[in-house]
Amino acid sequence: MPYICLTRTDIPDGTLQILDLLPNASQRHPGYDPPAQTRYVNRVQNEALALVNGMSNGIKNGLSAYILDRIEPGGTQVGTAEVDLDAPGAVLAADTITIGGVVFTATDALYDPALQEFYSDVGAGSVETAMANSLIDAVNDPASQTLLVAAGSGVFAAAGGSLGAGQVLLTALVAGATGALTLAESTAGLRIDISDDHLSRTFEDFTIRQIANISERIILRLDAASALTATDVNTAINAEGGVSGCDIASVGTLGSLIEMLSILAGRGYRLPHFATIYTGAGYDIWHSAAAGSFDISHLVNDSRMVAGELVPNAIGGDIALMPVKGITNTYHSSALEISLLEGDLSKMGAGITLWPDSDDVPHFPWTYQKGASYSTVTARVVTVYDDDGSVLV
């Protein structure tokens, strides 16, 4: 559906009205007419963010909250990690390496890769290469891969990393947060050493400043009536210093271009207080499930009719969802096409005169006059996007 977006910050919500779309909300007959199409156009919300220990500090609404919560950092990058079996002490039987919850155990006996086993120093005859190869076999075994896929992503291992002959390089088969499996070992670095607490990527987390700059870059394109296709949005995100690999359509991204366009059209998105965005020792493992929502829950007491009375299903009320800030869905119609060609949307996109009397009428800063005046300007006030982010007007 098209998205009608307000391009100015000095026009309050509920002020600019589109009246030449059909059906008209005031004249619509609910029993016969489809959903109303006339509406007020509201500005995109974009509240400043704050993070403490990987969690949202306060309730946050709007575009920045959506990008932080739904756009995966480094989405097209592949997670990697190094395991060093040549740590100061010898690897002992029962020492473990855990990848995404899948446990691989060292053994002195002949190892069975299908049982996620690899050689200890004794079992490998104290040969570092043999230990590394046995871990590679165990990780690559089909049985292990099945477990790793269930944990989040398939992983393949390769010997010959930067730490020496006993080193194994783990690489996720799936790019993005899906492949950023947690990584741990049981020896506290005494006999086995790991490069990080997960399979890490070059770029893994947004800073608050980066999010603010990305949001500003996207809103500037909106105000300039520039296209906001998936390619344009990706370019706007990855143009931020230090950011790379982000893709609104990546495997792990929890959002979509259509959702972002709806936010630009005034739809509300809310990130709750203490919402967890990043975990891990360095708060750099992006969450796997969205913490925010377009809806908020509330109690209702009219879920069903009993003996002529509306009552809830549960004592105390039922939980229902309501939009954080709803927008009117826009549908392709002949009325919309006419408005885009020569009607309200066409004129508002070409430029209309704002506050024509503001410069001519004497102004007094009394309470009832709100103490504000504006210089008369002629400017574009809306940008209309199609589903793919192309500009309709």
Among the listed ranges 78-92, 117-131, 322-336, 358-372, which one has the minimum average pLDDT value? 358-372
Reply yes or no on whether the pLDDT at 370 is more than 80: no
Confidence of residue 153 (pLDDT cuts 50, 70, 90): confident
Q: What percent of the chain shows pLDDT beyond 70?
A: 94
- Give the bridge partners for 96, in sequence order: 105
Question: What is the per-residue pLDDT across 297-356, written as a single tens digit (0 to 9) for each?
Answer: 999 999 999 999 999 999 999 999 999 999 999 999 999 999 999 999 999 999 999 877
Total residue length of the chain: 393
Say whether 206 sits in a helix, a strand or coil.
coil
What are the sequence ranges of the domains in the chain? 1-37+332-393, 38-74+207-323, 80-194
CB 287 within 8 A of CB 77: no
pTM: 0.90
Q: In whole angstroms, give the CA distance from residue 47 to residue 63.
A: 8
Reply yes or no on whether the pLDDT at 50 is more than 70: yes
Reply yes or no on whether the pLDDT at 368 is more than 60: no
CB 300 within 8 A of CB 312: yes
Alpha carbons within 13 angstroms on the beta-carbon side of residue 231 total 3
